[in-house]
């Protein structure tokens, strides 16, 4: 019985140590070494190998190394094999840090002050208190909920939008397409923390931006495919959006000639908002293996119909 890991080999070496300590009965291999393919029962990957079902005929579970699974071609994973996305405490903590940093930067006009510094301009802007700033998070899942729970502690007015109904103390919850406009109209700082699916691809578009308050700030920490990049540039030009913080882009790494690089209204980071940490990820995976053996529901099981 073996476990195949196919992702960053440096972090993979730590996964191997942890498996050796905590699950020595499982033979652990790091791609491209697979051991006997017929022995592979579990796979953890950022992108699964080609011909998955043919190559590993006895596969029982596919784990995503990341929280998102849009990089998986689910049609290539047979229906009887569960796909599990990553839910682990350090991934959540990293996202809470990044989102808090970005919201505070937007709230305190950090991007504009940084542009002013480069121009040699000393010009204070009016300050807004946290309790009159409205934060909206697209996605009320594991990450969106953790982020909003933290942001509430600053006194911000917090709201979230999801597909199904949610109820969270102190957070205004909106659900479904019909409520999207009302949610946007009260979001001075909008964070995208959605999974990328056919229903959410291109959601950050001209059509969505026009429902935001004038001068809203956009923070995209979901996926590059959520954003229509030319629509963002137009919205920045018209002032509909005053600044954007982008951790993800359509093409990563962002091409050198892309206009985002030198736009003073945009702050870019290279898809580092949060990362899976081996120690907590292996604990989550081993917990799911125990669940699998006991026949109890897996944590983070992907719903193939909805694609997340």
Q: Which of 24-41 are b and which e, b meaning 16 or more Cβ less than 10 Å from the residue's Cβ?
A: eeebbbbeeebeeeeebb
Report angle CA 204, 98, 176 to the nearest 5 degrees: 35
At which residue do the structure tokens 């580092």 appear? Answer: 272
Nearer to ligand OXD, 212 or 249 (CB): 249
What's the min distance (Å) between Cβ of 302 and ligand NDP? Answer: 8
What's the min distance (Å) between Cβ of 47 and ligand OXD? Answer: 12
Provide the β-strand partners of residue 243.
217
DSSP state of 57: T
Nearer to ligand NDP, 176 or 215 (CB): 176
Cβ contact 174:161 at 8 Å? yes
Nearer to ligand NDP, 48 or 141 (CB): 141
Q: How many CA atoms lie within 13 A of 132 on its CB side?
A: 4
What's the min distance (Å) between Cβ of 22 and ligand NDP? Answer: 24
What's the min distance (Å) between Cβ of 253 and ligand OXD? Answer: 14
Q: How many CA atoms lie within 13 A of 34 on its CB side?
A: 17
Per DSSP, the residues of 69-131 read: -TTS-GGGS-TTS-EE----HHHHHHHHHHHHHHHHHHHTTHHHHHHHHHHT---------GG
Kindly list the catalytic residues.
Answer: 223, 271
What's the min distance (Å) between Cβ of 68 and ligand OXD? Answer: 3
Within 263-302, the residues that bind ligand NDP by CB under 6 A are 271, 273-274
Give the separation between CA 82 and CA 76, rounded to whole angstroms.
12
Give the separation between CA 65 and CA 4, rounded to whole angstroms.
12
What's the min distance (Å) between Cβ of 11 and ligand OXD? Answer: 12
Nearer to ligand OXD, 19 or 72 (CB): 72
Q: Looking at 48, 136, 195, 278, which residue binds ligand NDP (CB under 6 A)?
A: 195
Q: Looking at 59, 142, 249, 282, which residue binds ligand NDP (CB under 6 A)?
A: 142
Residues 239-268 vs ligand NDP: string with x where CB under 6 A?
--------xx--------------------
184 binds ligand NDP per the rule CB under 6 A: no
DSSP state of 304: T
Nearer to ligand NDP, 66 or 82 (CB): 66
Within 3-62, the residues that bind ligand NDP by CB under 6 A are none
User: Which spans of this chain sit near ligand OXD (rule: CB under 6 A)?
Assistant: 66-68, 86, 275-276
Tell me the window of 21-29, 44-52, 188-196, 234-242 that interacts with ligand NDP (CB under 6 A): 188-196
Provide the β-strand partners of residue 3.
28, 42
Cβ contact 248:224 at 8 Å? yes
Report angle CA 23, 85, 225 to the nearest 5 degrees: 145
Nearer to ligand OXD, 30 or 193 (CB): 193
- What does 12 bind: ligand NDP, ligand OXD, none (CB cut-off 5 to 8 Å by kind)? none
Residues making contact with ligand NDP (CB under 6 A): 66-68, 95, 139-144, 161-164, 193-197, 199-200, 221-223, 247-248, 271, 273-274, 308
């Amino acid at each position: 019985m073996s476990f195949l890991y196919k992702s960053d080999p440096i972090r993979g070496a730590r996964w191997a140590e942890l498996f050796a300590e905590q699950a020595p009965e499982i033979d652990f291999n790091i791609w491209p070494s697979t051991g006997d393919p017929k022995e592979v029962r579990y796979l953890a990957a950022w992108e699964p190998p080609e011909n998955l079902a043919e190559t590993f005929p006895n596969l029982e579970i596919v784990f995503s190394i990341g929280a998102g699974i849009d990089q998986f071609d689910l049609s290539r994973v047979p229906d009887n094999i569960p796909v599990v996305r990553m839910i682990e405490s350090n991934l959540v903590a990293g996202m809470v840090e990044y989102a808090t940093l970005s919201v505070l930067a937007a709230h305190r006009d950090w991007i504009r002050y940084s542009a002013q510094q480069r121009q040699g301009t000393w010009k204070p802007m009016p300050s807004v208190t946290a309790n009159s700033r409205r934060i909206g998070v697209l996605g009320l899942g594991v990450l969106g909920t953790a982020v909003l729970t933290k942001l509430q502690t600053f006194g911000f007015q917090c709201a979230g939008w999801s597909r199904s109904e949610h109820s969270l103390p102190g957070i205004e919850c909106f659900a479904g397409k019909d409520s999207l406009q009302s949610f946007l109209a009260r979001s001075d700082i909008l964070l995208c923390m959605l999974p990328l699916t056919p229903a959410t691809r291109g959601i950050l578009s001209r059509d969505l931006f026009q429902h935001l308050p004038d001068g809203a700030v956009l923070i995209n920490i979901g996926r590059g495919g959520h954003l229509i990049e030319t629509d963002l540039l137009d919205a920045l030009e018209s002032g509909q959006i005053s600044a954007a913080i982008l951790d993800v882009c359509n093409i990563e790494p962002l091409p050198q000639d892309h206009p985002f690089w030198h736009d003073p209204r945009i702050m870019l980071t290279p898809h580092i908002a949060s990362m899976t940490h081996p120690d907590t990820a292996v604990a989550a995976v081993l917990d799911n293996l125990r669940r699998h053996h006991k026949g109890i529901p897996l944590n983070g099981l992907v719903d193939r119909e909805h694609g997340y």
